């Protein structure tokens, strides 16, 4: 079984986010980059299938050379090899087109990815990949078992969970719960050393046209100063909520 795991390089949640002077792009100075956490759940599941079923695991990233440290970490976690599409990830559609091209050429049985990335939170790429490939798609997956040419996936729905059987090849978008958090793999020294010798193939992009253009970015407004009101002064509290906060 051949598994393709799509990973995104995203800013660590502790990083301070700033934009360029003209507010046209993210200022990457000082940013610590990590594997998108939901993609890491997908990668860990792929490594488990590698151990239990002898699957080969390829990680795929769309981005410039700056994403290679994150790709090497994925290799250290347990992937067999990696592909980097040397293209700027402009929007969900252009990224999905690049992924679909690699997936189709590689003949993968299972395509795993996170439900969304924690930077843009678009959640559109997995579904677009499935549509471009005309393959079954399961979103918000929290459980996955593979038996031969069929996979049984458990996904979250409103008020419960749903179990679905799909024929492979298929696209699965996982999230927290696909594996237990304590099962996430922290690369050890052996894994880090072996990652240096694992193949990382760089391919040029397909020049997929973006459907969305970012015009400008704005930071979240700074929080206003807190006003303290005595618990005995209910009238003043009501006045502030009405006249200044305008919430009543």
State the residue for tokens 């924690």. Answer: 118
Distance in angstroms (rounded) separating the CA atoms of residues 73 and 9: 11
CB atoms < 10 A from the CB of 20, how many? 12
Closest CA relative to residue 138, chosen from 99, 110, 98, 104: 110
Q: So what CATH class is 2-219?
A: alpha beta
Distance in angstroms (rounded) separating the CA atoms of residues 8 and 235: 52
- The pLDDT tens digits of the residues spanning 49-94 come to 999 999 999 999 999 999 999 999 999 999 999 999 999 898 999 9
pTM: 0.86
Closest CA relative to residue 92, chosen from 116, 118, 74, 112: 116
Strands 56-62 and 2-6: parallel
Q: Is the pLDDT reported for residue 196 higher than 90? A: yes
Mean pLDDT of 221-248: 88
Give the chain's mean pLDDT: 93
Query: Per-domain residue ranges for the chain?
Result: 2-219
Q: Is the pLDDT reported for residue 117 higher than 90? A: yes
Contacts of residue 13, Cβ cutoff 8 Å, sequence gap at least 6? 118
Q: Which residues pair with 152 in a beta bridge?
A: 145, 165
- The pLDDT tens digits of the residues spanning 225-236 come to 888 999 999 999
């Amino acid at each position: 079984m051949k598994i393709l795991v799509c990973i995104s390089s995203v800013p660590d949640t502790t990083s301070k986010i700033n934009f360029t002077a003209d507010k046209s792009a993210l200022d990457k100075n000082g940013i610590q980059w990590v594997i998108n956490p939901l993609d890491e759940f997908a990668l860990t599941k792929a490594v488990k299938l590698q151990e239990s079923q002898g699957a080969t695991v390829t990680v795929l990233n769309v981005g410039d050379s700056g994403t290679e440290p994150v790709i090497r970490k994925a290799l250290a976690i347990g992937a067999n090899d990696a592909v980097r599409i040397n293209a700027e990830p402009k929007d969900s559609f252009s990224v999905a087109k690049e992924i679909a091209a690699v997936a189709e050429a590689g003949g993968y049985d299972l395509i795993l990815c996170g439900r969304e990335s924690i930077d843009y939170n678009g959640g559109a790429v997995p579904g677009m990949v499935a549509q471009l490939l005309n393959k079954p798609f399961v979103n918000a997956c929290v459980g996955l078992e593979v038996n031969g040419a069929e996979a049984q996936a458990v996904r979250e729905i409103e008020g419960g969970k749903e179990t679905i059987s799909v024929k492979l090849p298929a696209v699965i978008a996982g999230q927290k719960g696909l594996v237990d958090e304590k099962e996430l793999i922290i690369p050890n020294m052996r894994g880090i050393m072996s990652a240096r010798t694992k193949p990382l193939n760089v391919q040029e992009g397909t020049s997929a046209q973006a459907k969305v253009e970012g015009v400008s970015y704005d930071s979240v407004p700074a929080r206003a100063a807190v006003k303290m009101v005595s618990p005995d002064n209910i009238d003043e509290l009501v006045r502030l909520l009405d006249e200044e906060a305008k919430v009543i």
